[in-house]
Every structure is written in C-alpha cells, then in structure tokens.
Structure 1
Amino acid sequence: MDQSIRILIVDDNPMMRFGLRGSLSSEEEFKVIGEAASGEEALAFVREHRPDVVTMDYKMPGGNGIKATTAILKDVPETKIILLSVFDSEEDIWKAVRAGVRGYLTKTAGDVDELIDAVKTVASGREFYPEIIAKKLRERRKMSDLSPREIEVLKLLAEGHSNKEMAVMLGIADETVKAHLVNLRSKLGAADRTQAVVIAYEKGILHLNE
C-alpha cells in the first residue's frame, strides 16, 4: 500500500513550481501529484485528486492564496494547506491562519529542510510555524480585529482625507467618523491618527501597493 504524502504545488510562477517540485520530490516519502497556477486550478485539482498537502502561493493573478484556501477547505475540509509567501506581516499571517492554513513559510527563507519538515508536520495533523512566524502570530492575537468600516476609515485616513471628507465619502456623520478613529487608535495602540496609519502599514493591515 502506498503511504506517500501526496502533494499539490500551487504557484503562478513556473520557475517556483519547478524549484518546489525538485525540492519536494527529493524526499522519498513525498509524491508531487500535480501543479496549479491559480486558485481556480487548485480547487478543481483538489476536488478531483484529494492531495494530502497543498503548498499554496499567497499572491496570484485573479485571487490570492487566502481566498483559494477558503474555497478549498469549504469543499474538501480535510486538505492540509501550507502558505508560502513573500509577506510576513502580522496581519498577513493572521489572515492565513483564520482561513485555515496549517503552516506558513516565507519564500525568502530558502530553507528546503524547513519546507520538508513543514509538509511532514501538517500531513501528520499538526501545525507548522517557524518561531519568527509564531512570534508574530502571538502578537497579532493580542490585537482586536478591525471592523470592515474601520478598515475603510483607515484606508481613507492613509490617503490623507479629513474627517469631513471621510464622512461625505462614506455617507456617515462626522461624529461617527470620530468614533471610528477613537476605536482605531485604541485597537492599534496608537497615540494619534498618524501613528495609527504607521502601525497599520507595519502590521500589514494596509499595504503600500494597494
């Protein structure tokens, strides 16, 4: 009976898929059974072939690894997913964990042994987060989640809009905007509106290229 850990590689970069296949195929108990270049391809493959572990790219055209993870786990909840990302902010890690990933690795680490350990660990039903990722996850868990409206206010604040401008753009009262700003400062541990924006970028709640 074949006891191999069956793996699907998901990444929009062909060279990255090639590299991952080479690294993972070198391990005797691993069997790379497929590749996908998008979340849609990954979902279709998982539905049909039921891999044990999926290595998932974070950022892909037409959707990211978080959305793909959510869709896969909704249809095939037993799938074990490891997210591979160039992003390692607290918020990015938090979003991935909340989506249901069982492991999170940074692509910049370049540690094949770590990737192999991660696949073996999640395949066994456990989670795998390197210490630097685990530390950021612990820090993020201390912070309250921002509401969708608070995120909207934060984005407009980062763009430099005044309270009055934000009120008009969001269709809410000036006092409501002020209340959201108070909540934002409290949740982010910020002394003022400028520091709130700085912290949001540092934690990955906002990204410079958005």
Structure 2
Amino acid sequence: MAEIRVLVVDDNALLRLGLTETITIEPGLEPVGAAANATEALELVRELRPDVVTMDYQMPGESGVECTRKIMEEFPDTKVVLLSVFDSEEDIWQAVQAGVKGYLTKKAGEVEDVLEAIHEIAAGGTYFPAGIAQKLERRSGQDSLTPREMEVLTLLAEGCSNKQIVDRLGISLATVKLHILNLREKLDAADRTQAVVHAFKRGIIHLDG
C-alpha cells in the first residue's frame, strides 16, 4: 500500500520540525514538505500534490481557513486537518465550511491524535473529537452572518460610530442601523456593545484580528 503523503503547515518552526519528524517515523506516512505560511503552503500543494495537509489555523497573512479554501478550489481531493488554538463554534464552523476534514485544538491534541486524524481522513473519513463535534452541531443550527454584516460587526468592534461606518462602507445610515439590528438578533444581544462581546465569545471575530 502506498504511503500517505503529508504536507506540514505551521508558522512555528519547532512545531513544524517536530511534527515532520513524528510523521517520518509513523508507519504508512511520508512527509513530503513543510510550509511556514499560506502562500508557501499553496505553492507546495501545487508542486507536491500531498494526500493530506496538516494546517495551522493562525499564521501571518492568510489564515489556515483561507488557505484551505483556496486549496479546495484547486485540489478538492486533498484532505486537510486543521490544528488550532481556537475552539469556538464559529471557528470550527468556518473551517468545516472551507473544507477541512478534521479539526484538533493544539492545547488538547496530542501528536498521536494528529497521526490518527491523518490516517482517518486519508481513508475517506473525518476526524472531529467529541467536544469539537458537539460545538459543530450547535453552530450548524444558527444563522450565519452575511459578508456585509461581518464588515459592520468588524467596524463596531473597532469602536466606529454609525456615521463612521457610513463613511467607511459607503452605505446609508438607515442601512447601517438595519445591519446592526440584524446583528443584535443573530447574536442574541441587547445592544451593539453586547453584540461585539458575543461575537468575541463565539469566535466570530478575534482580538488579534
């Protein structure tokens, strides 16, 4: 049986090296390359055509979710398992929407779990530990924010007033107020401030952007 060819993507050099070395000694797996960011990852996927990519969520520039989405557009048969420090319902949901077949939190996931996930998704399955699967199920029943609502929410989080949002997005004041009302309803918030707080808690937006 052919070995599963794995590309490791992580902006932390030590983690990248450690996971690559672990994959090297795992029966049935072959590390074919390593990347430090989304740009390198996409280039190596095009060049090496790995079976599985272990993808870091948070990297300089594009996130692992954005990179996964681009990989799926060009190489839909490539399997991606995402490794993240984030474990909110929204983070997991966005990753699955991008096309990941597995999701592990770095704070909880052991190397053995990563290896098991690689084998599982390479065989055509998925790998979502119980806690992750429960959050994914809860999130699937909620209304998603539209791209424009996300823009308004981000500006609210930056402390922009309604007038500033009007100027930044080039929309009317009435439209801004409608978006904020929709955000409050979708985020179950009493006012705009609480909407931002709930968005941070759910992982829709992050303090580091």
Please report the TM-score for the alignment, with normalisation by the length of structure 1: 0.91
Could you tell me which residue of structure 2 aligns to residue 122 of structure 1?
121
Residue 183 of structure 1 and its aligned partner are, at CA, apart by: 0.8
Misfit runs of 4+, over 4 Å: none
**2-structure distance, mates of 1:181, 1:64:** 27
| 1:42-191 map, 5 Å | 42-191=41-190
Aligned partner of 1:5: which letter?
I
Could you tell me which residue of structure 1 aligns to residue 200 of structure 2?
201
Quickly say closer, same or farther: Cα 1:34–1:170, change in 2 above 3 A: closer
Quickly say closer, same or farther: Cα 1:28–1:99, change in 2 above 3 A: same
**1-structure distance, mates of 2:67, 2:160:** 34
SS across alignment from 1:3: coil
Could you tell me which residue of structure 2 aligns to residue 40 of structure 1?
39
What are structure 2's unaligned runs of at least 5 residues? none
Residue 86 of structure 1 and its aligned partner are, at CA, apart by: 1.2
Residue 99 of structure 1 and its aligned partner are, at CA, apart by: 0.9
Deviation per residue, 1:4-46 (Å, 9 max, x gap)? 1111111122101111123223321111122122222222222
Could you tell me which residue of structure 2 aligns to residue 6 of structure 1?
5
Alignment RMSD, CA only? 1.8
Quickly say closer, same or farther: Cα 1:62–1:191, change in 2 above 3 A: closer
Could you tell me which residue of structure 2 aligns to residue 23 of structure 1?
22
**2-structure distance, mates of 1:171, 1:40:** 31
**2-structure distance, mates of 1:22, 1:168:** 52
Contact 1:43 1:72 in 2 (8 A): yes
Q: Structure 1 residues 198-207 or 43-52, which shifts more? A: 43-52
SS across alignment from 1:108: coil
Contact 1:58 1:64 in 2 (8 A): yes
Residue 155 of structure 1 and its aligned partner are, at CA, apart by: 2.2
**2-structure distance, mates of 1:39, 1:177:** 33
Q: What's the % identity of the aligned pairs?
A: 54
Please report the TM-score for the alignment, with normalisation by the length of structure 2: 0.91
Q: Structure 1 residues 119-128 or 56-65, which shifts more? A: 56-65
**2-structure distance, mates of 1:37, 1:153:** 31
SS across alignment from 2:26: coil
Aligned partner of 1:171: which letter?
G
Residue 104 of structure 1 and its aligned partner are, at CA, apart by: 0.8
What are structure 1's unaligned runs of at least 5 residues? none
Residue 87 of structure 1 and its aligned partner are, at CA, apart by: 1.5
Q: Structure 1 residues 149-158 or 197-206, which shifts more? A: 149-158
Aligned length: 209
Contact 1:143 1:188 in 2 (8 A): no
Deviation per residue, 1:136-176 (Å, 9 max, x gap)? 21122122111122122222322333334433443333222
